[in-house]
């Protein structure tokens, strides 16, 4: 067993505070690291100590391995929690921690590296007999090979970067004419974005559900799942709302997918908390998509329905302790939903809305959790992800959860920056959403219903004006054609022409 007495959280924002809260509960000291722009950030104040790690741009601070390890060494931290994003799935960082004798709270560098390479992840799953999206064997080198696959599988197909993930470097190809140009573009994009131009192709699964399973495994061979999370409400690969249980799920499908997720984790020797992402098509056929070797943004909905603190479990596993519960002891109780609150303007193409928080009041009450980090007077930095907080709501049923979420969103008042709160309210009022009848095309399919009330109102007003004008023109035309119409006599001219403007 490795005693952990002090954890450095190599992250910022809400997740840094969230991790530090669990550390505090466990009697573990906390170390914050901060950049120039984060001098006034809440995680700096919350931690027992704080270390400056560099300038605001992430590469000079939160992505700078040496600066972070310097802070770990100087603070005497015996473990590092990477949160999500930044270095959380960086195998080199995990290796450097190990080399410094610092416990990296997460899976081994080998597993991080293997799951970070989407082709080797697929190969590992195929070997374990886990269904993967039909695709090419290994890296696509020759364009002819891609054409052969696409002809065999049938269009549309998706080209993806082996070093990508999360939708980065993906392209949808509808026919042969598009294939070669798309391959070349994807290859140069992948090289630029990831320094690795390896590509692969998959059959496109139309309007899939994006369902993921939470995994937890210790270093003593115990692996279990903590059920699913439905993540199909996404905009440009950015999740907006997640919920558990999934409206699509049946007990039988849940058991099969859960067993598959556990087998996937065992197949790669996973330890700690991880997530298996699946695509599920409209025949409820499911396919392994990716494995995330980090804690996910949306983990709180799983915590709420199972009662398990996933960060606490990560730390206990990192200490080398066996899991203290079995699969049979885990149940989903009620229904939880997360809305991500972004400082973005949904009525202006979701452009980030920087600025100072002048007022904020957050909802509270039974079944309501807000994981945030902003406060009145706080200036939201432009350097990082614009997520302000996560609103996690629980209810005894999906209906109760939605009505409670509506109430919570109504209470959520943030002034000084534009936020996605109003957009989330519109989703809560969308019939397809409230009926649980949605997949990853939801945002696209419900554009009209999701337009801002302002935009809707403007559009409606325009419609009213246009309708009135058309009505006027029709009446005028009938009048002009009618017999009783007598043109106004003008003593200077025979008739007066009516000039239509
Ligand atoms: C797919 C797919 C359909 N067919 N792959 C990959 C990264 C993940 N975040 C989304 N990914 C997808 N991969 C195949 N073969 C559908 C998705 C997908 C998606 C794609 C485009 C736009 C939004 C999406 C939301 C969820 C899943």
Stretch 206-232: mean pLDDT: 97
383-396 exposure pattern, b = at least 16 Cβ within 10 A, e = fewer: bbbbbbbbbbbbbe
Tell the residue nearest (CA) to atom 15 of ligand 1. Answer: 204
Are 107 and 270 spatial neighbours (Cβ–Cβ below 8 Å)?
yes
What pLDDT does residue 467 have? 64
Q: Is the CB of 279 under 6 A from ligand 1?
A: yes
Residues facing 352 on adjacent strands: 344
What pLDDT does residue 489 have? 54
Judge whether residue 347 has pLDDT over 80. yes
Are 362 and 341 spatial neighbours (Cβ–Cβ below 8 Å)?
no
- Residue 54 dihedral angles phi and psi, to the nearest 5°: 140, -175
Tell the residue nearest (CA) to atom 10 of ligand 1. Answer: 167
Judge whether residue 490 has pLDDT over 60. no
Stretch 386-400: mean pLDDT: 97
Q: Is the CB of 420 under 6 A from ligand 1?
A: no
337-346, 348-357, 398-407, 470-479: least confident range: 470-479
> Which residue has tokens 């910022």?
12
Tell the residue nearest (CA) to atom 23 of ligand 1. Answer: 237
What pLDDT does residue 498 have? 39
Atom of ligand 1 nearest to the CA of 203: 15
Judge whether residue 365 has pLDDT over 60. yes
Residue 73 a catalytic site member: no
498 vs 399, more confident? 399
What pLDDT does residue 17 have? 98
Q: What letter would DSSP give residue 499?
A: P
Judge whether residue 494 has pLDDT over 60. no
| Token pair recorded at residue 488 | 């106004």
Question: Considering the chain, what percentage of its residues have pLDDT values greater than 70?
Answer: 93
Q: Is the CB of 210 under 6 A from ligand 1?
A: yes
What pLDDT does residue 458 have? 53
Q: Beta strand pairing status for 351-352 and 344-345? A: antiparallel
Stretch 62-76: mean pLDDT: 98
Judge whether residue 229 has pLDDT over 50. yes
Question: Considering the chain, what percentage of its residues have pLDDT values greater than 90?
Answer: 85
Are 209 and 440 spatial neighbours (Cβ–Cβ below 8 Å)?
yes
Find the 167 Cα to ligand 1 centroid distance in Å: 6
Q: Is the CB of 201 under 6 A from ligand 1?
A: no
Separation between Cα atoms, residue 260 and residue 267, nearest integer Å: 10
Separation between Cα atoms, residue 147 and residue 149, nearest integer Å: 5
Find the 143 Cα to ligand 1 centroid distance in Å: 22
User: What is the three-state SS of 2-62?
Assistant: CCCCEEEECCCHHHHHHHHHHHHHCCCEEEEEEEHHHCCCHHHHHCCEEEEEECCCHHHCC
Q: What angle do CA 388, 410, 430 make, to 5 degrees?
A: 95
Separation between Cα atoms, residue 195 and residue 345, nearest integer Å: 32
Q: Distances in Å between the alpha carbon of 47 and those of 6, 17, 30, 141, 176?
A: 11, 8, 5, 49, 56
Separation between Cα atoms, residue 167 and residue 398, nearest integer Å: 29
Judge whether residue 492 has pLDDT over 70. no
Find the 139 Cα to ligand 1 centroid distance in Å: 19
Q: Return all residues near 74 (Cβ < 8 A) that are at least 6 apart.
A: 51
Are 98 and 75 spatial neighbours (Cβ–Cβ below 8 Å)?
no
How high is the mean pLDDT of the chain? 93
Judge whether residue 455 has pLDDT over 70. no
Atom of ligand 1 nearest to the CA of 441: 23
Can you list the domains of the chain with their CATH numbers? Answer: 6-105 (3.40.50.20), 134-203 (3.30.1490.20), 209-457 (3.30.470.20)
In this structure, how many other beta carbons lie within 10 angstroms of the beta carbon of residue 325? 14
Stretch 438-457: mean pLDDT: 82
Q: Would you place residue 497 in the very low, low, confident or very high pLDDT band (cuts 50, 70, 90)?
A: very low
What pLDDT does residue 495 have? 47
What pLDDT does residue 71 have? 98
Judge whether residue 6 has pLDDT over 70. yes
Judge whether residue 226 has pLDDT over 70. yes
What pLDDT does residue 500 have? 42
What pLDDT does residue 167 have? 80
Judge whether residue 429 has pLDDT over 90. yes
- Omega of the bond prior to 156 within 30 degrees of 0, cis? yes
360 vs 470, more confident? 360
Atom of ligand 1 nearest to the CA of 277: 8
Judge whether residue 168 has pLDDT over 90. no
Which of 240, 279, 439, 444 has most ligand 1 atoms within 8 Å of CB, for mutation?
Answer: 279
Active-site residue, from 187, 254, 294, 369: 294
474 vs 147, more confident? 147
Atom of ligand 1 nearest to the CA of 202: 15
Q: Distances in Å between the alpha carbon of 239 and those of 78, 336, 387?
A: 33, 15, 11
Query: Which contacts of 279-282 are long-range, i.e. CB under 8 A and separated by 24 or more positions?
Result: 279/133, 279/205, 279/208, 279/209, 279/210, 279/211, 280/208, 280/209, 280/211, 280/248, 281/205, 281/206, 281/207, 281/208, 281/209, 282/207, 282/439
What's the half-sphere exposure (Cβ side, CA atoms, 13 Å) at 155? Answer: 11
Tell the residue nearest (CA) to atom 5 of ligand 1. Answer: 204
Tell the residue nearest (CA) to atom 3 of ligand 1. Answer: 205
Judge whether residue 398 has pLDDT over 90. yes
Find the 424 Cα to ligand 1 centroid distance in Å: 22
Q: Is the CB of 208 under 6 A from ligand 1?
A: yes
482 vs 498, more confident? 482
Q: Would you place residue 488 in the very low, low, confident or very high pLDDT band (cuts 50, 70, 90)?
A: low
Q: Beta strand pairing status for 49-54 and 79-81? A: unpaired
Judge whether residue 391 has pLDDT over 70. yes
* Number of H-type helices and E-type strands within the chain: 17, 24
Atom of ligand 1 nearest to the CA of 135: 15
What pLDDT does residue 353 have? 92
Cα dihedral 277, 282, 286, 292 in deg (nearest 10): 0
Which of these, 291, 228, 246, lies nearest to 264 by C-alpha position? 291
Q: What letter would DSSP give residue 418?
A: -
Find the 236 Cα to ligand 1 centroid distance in Å: 10
Separation between Cα atoms, residue 174 and residue 306, nearest integer Å: 42
What pLDDT does residue 400 have? 98
Are 474 and 480 spatial neighbours (Cβ–Cβ below 8 Å)?
no
What pLDDT does residue 469 have? 72
Judge whether residue 84 has pLDDT over 50. yes
What pLDDT does residue 464 have? 57
462 vs 271, more confident? 271
In this structure, how many other beta carbons lie within 10 angstroms of the beta carbon of residue 52? 15
Q: What letter would DSSP give residue 437?
A: -
Model confidence over 265-300: pLDDT tens digits? Answer: 999 999 999 999 999 999 999 999 999 999 999 999
Q: pTM for this one?
A: 0.89
């Amino acid at each position: 067993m490795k005693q952990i007495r002090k954890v450095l959280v190599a992250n910022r924002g809400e997740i840094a505070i969230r991790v530090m809260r669990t550390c505090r509960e466990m009697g573990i000291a906390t170390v914050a690291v901060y950049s120039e722009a984060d001098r006034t950030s809440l995680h700096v104040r919350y931690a027992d100590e704080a270390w400056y790690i560099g300038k605001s741009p992430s590469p000079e601070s939160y992505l700078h391995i040496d600066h972070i390890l310097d802070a770990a060494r100087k603070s005497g931290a015996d473990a590092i929690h990477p949160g999500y994003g930044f270095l959380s799935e960086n195998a080199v960082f995990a290796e450097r921690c190990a080399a410094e004798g610092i416990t990296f709270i997460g899976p081994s560098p080998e597993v991080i590296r293997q799951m970070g390479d989407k082709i080797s992840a697929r190969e590992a799953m195929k070997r374990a007999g886990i269904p993967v999206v039909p695709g090419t064997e290994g890296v696509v080198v020759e364009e002819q090979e891609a054409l052969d696959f696409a002809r065999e599988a049938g269009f549309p197909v998706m080209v993806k970067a082996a070093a990508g993930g999360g939708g980065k470097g993906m392209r949808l190809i509808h026919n042969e004419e598009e294939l070669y140009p798309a391959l070349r573009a994807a290859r140069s994009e992948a090289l630029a974005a990831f320094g690795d131009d390896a590509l692969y192709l998959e059959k496109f699964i139309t309007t899939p559900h994006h369902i993921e399973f939470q995994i937890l495994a210790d270093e003593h061979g115990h692996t279990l799942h903590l059920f699913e999370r439905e993540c199909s409400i996404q905009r440009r690969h950015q999740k907006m709302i997640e919920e558990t249980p999934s409206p699509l799920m049946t007990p039988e499908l849940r058991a099969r997918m859960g067993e598959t997720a556990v087998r996937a984790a065992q197949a790669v020797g996973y330890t700690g908390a991880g997530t298996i992402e699946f695509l599920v098509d409209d025949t409820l056929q499911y396919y392994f998509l990716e494995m995330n070797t980090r804690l996910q943004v949306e983990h709180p909905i799983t915590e709420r329905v199972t009662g398990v603190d996933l960060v606490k479990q990560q730390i206990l596993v990192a200490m080398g302790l066996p899991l203290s519960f079995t699969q049979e002891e885990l149940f989903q109780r009620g229904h939880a939903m997360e809305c991500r609150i972004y400082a973005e303007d949904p009525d202006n193409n979701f452009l980030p809305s920087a600025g100072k928080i002048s007022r904020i009041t957050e909802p509270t009450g039974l079944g309501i959790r807000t994981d945030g980090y902003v406060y009145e007077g706080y200036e939201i930095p432009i350097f990082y992800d614009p997520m302000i907080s996560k609103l996690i709501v629980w209810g005894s049923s999906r209906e109760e959860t939605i009505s409670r979420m509506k109430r919570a969103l109504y209470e959520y008042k943030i002034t000084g920056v534009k936020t996605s709160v109003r957009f989330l309210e519109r989703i809560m009022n969308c019939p397809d959403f409230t009926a649980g009848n949605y997949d990853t095309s939801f945002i696209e399919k419900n554009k009209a219903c999701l337009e801002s009330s302002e935009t809707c109102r403007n559009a409606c007003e325009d419609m009213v004006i246009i309708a009135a004008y058309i009505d006027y023109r029709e009446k005028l035309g009938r009048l002009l054609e009618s017999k009783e119409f007598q043109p106004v006599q003008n003593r200077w001219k025979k008739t007066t022409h009516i000039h239509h403007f």
